[in-house]
Amino acid sequence: MERRQPPQTEEGWYVLHDFRSIDWDAWRNAPDRRRERAIEEGREYLSAAEAVADADEGDSATFTVLGHKADLLVLHLRPTLGDIDALERQFEHTALAEFTERADSYLSVTEVSGYMSQEYFEDDETADAGIANYIESRLKPEIPDTDFLSFYPMSKRRGPDHNWYELPFDERADYLSNHGEIGKDYAGRVTQIISGSVGLDDYEWGITLFGDDPTDVKELLYEMRFDPSSSRFAEFGRFLSARRIDSSDLGAFLAGKRVPQDDADSAHGHPHGHGESGDHGHAHGDSGGHHGDSGGHHSGSEDDDVRSELEEMGVYAGKPHGEDVHAVVLYSAADAEELFEEVDGMRTNFDHYDTHVKTAVYESETGADDAEAAIVSLWETERAANTAAGFLAELPDIVRQAGDDEDDSWGTMGMFYTVKPDHRGDFTGAFDDAAALLADMDGHRKTDLLANCEDENDMFIASRWDSREDAMQFFRSDAFSEAVEFGRDILTDRPRHVFLA
């Protein structure tokens, strides 16, 4: 009797979906002091969980559940079952717990399987660095900072006509590969956490989908229904939908008010108590402001002011990320060649997405002791750029991301300097002259010229200043005007001179 080959799996963090219903009659009839205490202790519990005060790593988030199935969802990811167990019992000790009943729960563990990368399981030491980083992000994910969540459990069918577990390994892998191709079309709009629950709960997997627009999730699931992996082999449990709230909004939620209370909150994301970006230092997608955000400590209106002033001077500043792309730039203290090897593997995954334009490593031309390499990743959508930033943040020795300026400095970056090959020496010579001038300018800290490791004629210039006004003094100077005029003769395309860096 032939035994089918099961995929190898690796497990990461445990996941608990904890659904709670509020006893609204008890809440309405309770004296004010009991309700105030319940809100206070509930906030303390939720904020401590979101800050991962109980463990070295993990993530938690709070959601309001839509419909009759529950009222609240507290979603926990932690390294051990002991961590999950403690969090459950800690909630029961709060005054808020007196007004709740557990409507449902689901226990699972994040996992990746050999369907994704046999190479990783056969010899993880020589596995592609990009694949290894991607798998790590699946095992230790951050809860995406989006408004909407959809959760459902599922199993693979074992019926007389269609039995998933009777299929050969290669056939199963093909089904899942084709199924995954559908999800790639929704990159940047829908993010998922997949966790295995064989032996842990009633179904075989728990699927949690995140997005800002619920119709994106609906559209994705509807399209997947027609894929044979689902139509022939999938069995689904019930679906629960929820909206994310911050723990500080607990009182407003219990009072029947709209949450978030300020509509502007939805544009700014939900703060996380533990470091950005939650899952072991990075964010999937979309998490919060500092991925792909060209602002950092600089406001959007300030960016516009800079560009407007440069336009008046006849200097083209471009759009915040480029003409039709969104740029993510990270700086690393690692050796550029070693960095390139890891990025080269990672962008193989990026190339699966239609929104990916380019990812490259740039090496300093100056060779200064404090010189840094840079990773530049260009995408057609901001959300896709945000997602990529999370993976890129896992690269070695990342120092900072463009936009995450220190409070006491201001950064600029000239990008898209594509030099005509015959004029590369002219360009680097002009930079040397400008660097000598900058060294004597008040408020100037450092300027570096970086070149693409794969194309020496593709460059950008990064500068750091004490303040915005110090940088603007240079952009208003005759020397900068002369450099702009000179560039028209030796560059193949029009550069964008100012980006926050």
CA distance from start to end of the chain: 63
Q: Which residue type is seen at 457?
A: N
Token digits of residue 334: 């690692």
Per annotation, catalytic residue among 14, 45, 134, 152: 152
- CA 408, distance to chain mean position in Å, is 26
152 is an active site residue? yes
Between β-strands 398-401 and 373-379, what pairing exists: parallel, antiparallel or unpaired?
unpaired
How many angstroms separate the CA atoms of 282 and 242, rounded? 24
Q: Which residue type is seen at 488?
A: R
How many angstroms separate the CA atoms of 355 and 187, rounded? 8
280 — alpha (psi -120 to 50), left (phi > 0) or beta? Answer: left
- CA 135, distance to chain mean position in Å, is 14
**Contact in structure between 420 and 492 (CB atoms under 8 Å):** yes
Token digits of residue 265: 């909150």
Q: Which residue type is seen at 493?
A: D
Residues whose CB falls within 8 Å of the CB of residue 10, separated by 6 or more in sequence, listed in order: 111, 112, 113, 121, 135, 139
How many angstroms separate the CA atoms of 286 and 216, rounded? 15
Classified as helix, coil or strand, 440 is: coil
How many angstroms separate the CA atoms of 403 and 460, rounded? 16
Residues whose CB falls within 8 Å of the CB of residue 54, separated by 6 or more in sequence, listed in order: 48, 78, 83, 86, 87, 90
Q: Which residue type is seen at 250?
A: L
Supply the residues annotated as catalytic: 152
